[in-house]
Amino acid sequence: MKLNIKNFLFSAALASMTLVGATSCLGDLDVKNINPKQVSELNQNALFNKLYSNFVLTGQTGPNGNSDLPDDIDEGASNMLRQIWSANELTTDEAHCLWGNEGIPEFNHNAWSDAHPMMQALYYRLYNGVTLANFFLSEATATDAETQTQRAEARFLRALHYYYLMDFYANVPILKRMNEDVPQGTRAELFAFIESELKDIVGEGQSGSEQLAAPRTTNYGRADKAAAWLLLSRLYLNAEVYTGKAQWENAKTYADKALKSGYALSTTPKNGYSAFQLLFMGDNDSNGAQNEILLPALHDGELTQTWGGVLFLIASGVEKAMIDSNANPDYIVTGTSENWGGNRTTKQFAEKFFGASEAPQGNTASSVAAAKDDRALFYTKGHKASIEDETNFKSGYAYVKFLNVHADGTKPKHTQFVDTDFPMLRLAEAYLTYAEADARLNGGRCTADGLNKVKALRQRANAADVSSVTLDDLCDEWCREFGFEGRRRMDLVRFGKFAGQSSYKWEWMGGTYEGSSLPAHYNIFAIPNSVINADGLKQNNGF
């Protein structure tokens, strides 16, 4: 049986994510609890879909209520995408938030400790995903083809959650089974486990029939072999950071596998929206962007209501004056009534598009025209490039990349919550991974082969052609292509431009307006003290 995961998952969300007795026909759903601690009978499909829901949903009742996590973890703060984004963006040269909520100033100023509440919430959220996958693998043991494919997907999702645990916290336990008592793992051990799992489920190991579907042969929303190849390429691209040993050739090899998998860049504009914008709109599951998105975190305004996910990305980046056409002729249509006015860009992010000059005052269209780059989606009306005042939303530009607007002109399903899927993995990553690995294998400059990959992305963005690309150029290109997509910290660490260096700084880095260098141990986060105290783990050095 082949599940339509988008419809099935959203129906599961609407039914409080507690399904038992479901079939592929939505009208036959029988609602009971699938909490691993309370389940009395296995509903394999409902449990399977719960694995994917961990990206977006936070509990049994959306947008909040009956949380998946312990009562002392704030549910709204535990949304996986929201916290991955905050940890990887607010700590870098891309984003800065004016809110004073506990944990945000510490991110802005690179001053977190083992008591940081948001990193505690993320730690628990990531292990919730691991636990769900382990529970599924312990219960779904049939040998039919669909179960074997689902088991491979569960292993992929577990590997993805472990990837984030490895990247953020470095040294954590590797739980492979329910109720397992294991010692604390090292970062190198985590790397080896993730590598082994991913290679196994694409047919390079011993799993036999337990393999992901061939690329583009399963439904949108489910991971296939191309998603695993792309995650492997990311793993190898950062191998030197994680293990001390570079694996550039492997990064290039698996990026190439993803590039040849049948997915394709979104390159056709639609109804006034650029091909790049289509990737981040409310109908990105059908407007052509789905051909580039290898793994989406699925959203539906009616059925996956959350204060995190893409709603957070949209609402936190705009204020009412920007979307009220009566107050501002250069208004923005976001597709949601929410406007929280929190996150905006640093001067250094804007400089990737405009150099040292201020962008023209106006909406995103004027910024795109001035930068001659479709990725320059800055709203600048009334804003300054520099964050001189941390408490003023107009200090810094707004970056309006995500919209809950449908390119085909249809209305969003909800006036508040969003339909826009978040691209967890998209093909553009393979282009830049290939180009960077190529440059690192060739003295720090792309060969013609690697250069062509960069050219393809810049051509899609209608940006100026380039005749050569260095590693510094690639670091900036990662920023332009993936700005505000929740990965910048990882790239800066790999390029040696985060902690433990003094040559590259950004506004409020280290807590000063001019930017100040960070101790090298800030390249990873502290393991939450609640976990240290409860499980007897050893804290990461420096915290």
| Cα–Cα dist 487/191, whole Å | 18
| Cα–Cα dist 450/444, whole Å | 11
Query: If you compute the radius of gyration of the chain from its CA atoms, what whole number of angstroms results?
Result: 22
Q: What pLDDT score does 59 carry?
A: 87
Confidence of residue 38 (pLDDT cuts 50, 70, 90): low
| Cα–Cα dist 318/295, whole Å | 26
Q: What pLDDT score does 273 carry?
A: 97
Structure tokens at 400: 């309006």
pTM for the full predicted model: 0.93
Q: What's the one-letter identity of residue 447?
A: T
> In whole angstroms, how far apart are CA 311 and each of 8, 283, 403?
21, 14, 9
> In whole angstroms, how far apart are CA 81 and each of 15, 77, 283, 290, 350?
22, 10, 19, 19, 24
pLDDT tens-digit map of 297-318: 999 999 999 999 999 999 999 9
Q: Comparing 79 with 328, which gets the higher pLDDT? A: 79
pLDDT tens-digit map of 437-470: 999 999 999 999 999 999 999 999 999 999 999 9
| Cα–Cα dist 406/17, whole Å | 27
Q: What pLDDT score does 28 carry?
A: 24
Q: What sign does the CA torsion over 19, 22, 28, 32 have?
A: negative
Mean pLDDT over 268-293 rounds to: 98
Confidence of residue 324 (pLDDT cuts 50, 70, 90): confident
Q: What's the one-letter identity of residue 295?
A: L
25 Cβ neighbours under 8 A, 6+ residues apart: none
| Cα–Cα dist 465/458, whole Å | 7
pLDDT tens-digit map of 407-419: 999 999 999 999 9
Q: What pLDDT score does 40 carry?
A: 52
Long-range contacts of 85-89 (CB under 8 A, 24+ apart): 85/312, 85/313, 85/484, 85/486, 86/118, 87/118, 87/119, 87/122, 87/168, 87/489, 87/525, 88/486, 88/487, 88/488, 88/489, 88/490, 89/343, 89/484, 89/486, 89/488, 89/489
Q: What pLDDT score does 20 carry?
A: 29
> In whole angstroms, how far apart are CA 400 and each of 88, 156, 319, 346, 365?
18, 31, 11, 14, 11
Structure tokens at 494: 């790999």
Are the C-beta atoms of 453 and 435 separated by less than 8 Å? yes
- Position 171 pLDDT exceeds 90: yes
| Per-residue DSSP letter, 470 | B
Which helix (H) or strand (E) element contains residue 398?
strand 398-399
Helix (H, G, I), strand (E, B) or coil at 94: coil
- Position 18 pLDDT exceeds 50: no
Which helix (H) or strand (E) element contains residue 343?
strand 343-345
Long-range contacts of 206-211 (CB under 8 A, 24+ apart): 207/152, 209/143, 209/145, 209/148, 210/148, 210/151, 210/152, 210/155, 211/148, 211/149, 211/152
Are the C-beta atoms of 350 and 360 separated by less than 8 Å? no
Confidence of residue 9 (pLDDT cuts 50, 70, 90): very low
Structure tokens at 28: 């036959």
200 Cβ neighbours under 8 A, 6+ residues apart: 155, 206, 207, 210
Q: What's the one-letter identity of residue 144?
A: D
Structure tokens at 392: 């003023």
Q: What pLDDT score does 10 carry?
A: 37
User: How, if at all, do strands 422-426 and 378-379 pair?
Assistant: unpaired
Nearest to 330 by CA among 384, 380, 282: 380
pLDDT tens-digit map of 213-257: 999 999 999 999 999 999 999 999 999 999 999 999 999 999 999
- Position 27 pLDDT exceeds 70: no
